[in-house]
Amino acid sequence: MAHKVIISGGGTGGHIFPAIAIANALRRAQPEIEILFVGAAGKMEMEKVPAAGYRIIGLDIQGINRQSLLKNLALPFKMVKSLWKSRQIIKEFGAEVAVGVGGYASGPLLIMANYIGIPTLIQEQNSFAGKTNKSLGKKAKKICVAYDGMEKFFPAARVMLTGNPIRRSSVSISGKYHEAIASFGLEEGKKTILVTGGSLGANTLNECMKGALDKLLQADIQVIWQCGSYYFGKLERELNDKLPVNIKLVPFLQRMDYAYAAADVIIARAGAGTISELCVIGKPVILVPSPNVAEDHQTKNAVSLVDKKAALMVTDMSARIHLIDEALKLVRDEAICVELGENIKKLALLNADELIANEILKLIN
C-alpha cells in the first residue's frame, strides 16, 4: 500500500520551493507515495504546487495584519474553521505523517495532526524560529534545521541539521555563462550585477535601482534587475525609455540558473531559501534583509553569514544611500569577491531534500 504524506505551508517562494523539493525527493525514494499539499487559499502555493504536479487544498487562513487591527477580527473564526478543515483533510486523506514548512497553513494543520496523534516534522528554514514553530516543535517528532545552535528554540534530541531544500535546477550553473549572457542580451566579459527581490519583488531594492541608473551607466556595469511582477508594470511605465541598454528589467526570473551564471555580484534579500541557493552558487553577495518579516529573522539570517565573512550586509534603512555604491566597490575588488565566494561556498548543503525525505519515511516506518 502506498504511503501518504501531507505537506503544509507556503505564502512565499521561500516556503513553497523547499516544500516541492521535499515532495520530489520523496517521489524519487518511493515513486508510489501519495503526497497532498495544504496551503492558504489565494496565496502563491495554490498556483505553484499544481504547476509542479501535486494536488493542493486551500485553508481560509491569514496571518496577523500589523497595519490594520480591524482586519484581524475574523482571525479567530478563520483559525477555528481551518483547524476543523485540517482534521477533516487528515482523516479523509489518511495521512501517516504531516510536514510543516512554515507559512499560514502550517499552524492549523500541524496542531491538528499532533492532536490526532499523527507524527509531525517541522522544516525550520531560518536561523531564528518564529513563535508558531517554537510551539509546534514541542510535539514534533523531528525538527530539520538549516543553521547551527537551533537547540535554543527546540528540544535538542529532535533537532537535525539538514540545510534548506533548494531548487536544483536553479543552482545548476556550471558551463552556462555564455548562454546565460546571451539569453539576457548582455555583453560577455563585462561585470554583471544581479539584483533580486525574491519571488514577490522588493520595493527597497527597486527604489535603489531607480535612483542609480546614471551611476550604473557611467560605471559601465551590466545589471539583471528582477523587480517582481507586482512592481513591473509601474516601473516599466515610469522608466519608459529612460532605462539604459545595460540594465535588463524583468518581473520574474524563469531561469534562475541563467541569472546566477551571468552574475559577478549578487544583491538579494536574506530569506532562508535565497541564502541556501546563494551558498551553493558561491558568488559574492550583498544581503539587504527585509524588515517586513516576523521577528526580523532575515537580519539574523544575514548576520550569521556576515559573522563568517561569507557575505556583506546593508540594512534596508540605509540601502537607498549606500547599496549601489557598496555593490560598485565590491564588483571592482577582486580579492574581496574571491574571499566572500569561497567562504559562502563552505556553508553549502546540497542534499537537504533527500535528508528530510529520509526522516519523513523513517517516521512512517
Residue stretches of the annotated binding site for UDP-N-acetyl-alpha-D-glucosamine: 12-14, 126, 167, 199, 298
Taking alpha carbons only, the member of 83, 62, 59 closest to residue 72 is 62
Using DSSP's 3-state secondary structure scheme, residue 245 falls into coil
Cβ contacts of 227-230, under 8 Å, gap ≥ 24: 227/197, 227/201, 227/251, 228/197, 228/198, 228/199, 228/200, 228/201, 228/202, 228/252, 229/201, 230/200, 230/201
Which residues 6+ apart lie within 8 Å of 243 measured at CB?
A: 213, 249
Residue 267 in contact with residue 286, Cβ under 8 Å?
yes
Q: Which residues, 6 or more positions from 191, have their beta carbon under 8 angstroms from its beta carbon?
A: 220, 221, 222, 264, 265, 331, 332
User: What DSSP designation does 310 have?
Assistant: S
Based on its alpha-carbon atoms, the radius of gyration of the chain, rounded to whole angstroms, reads: 21
Residue 85 CB: number of other CB atoms within 10 A?
A: 19
The CA angle 150-156-157, to the nearest 5 degrees, is 140
Q: Which three cell numbers stand for residue 68?
A: 490594520
Whole-angstrom distance, CA of residue 293 vs CA of residue 14: 12
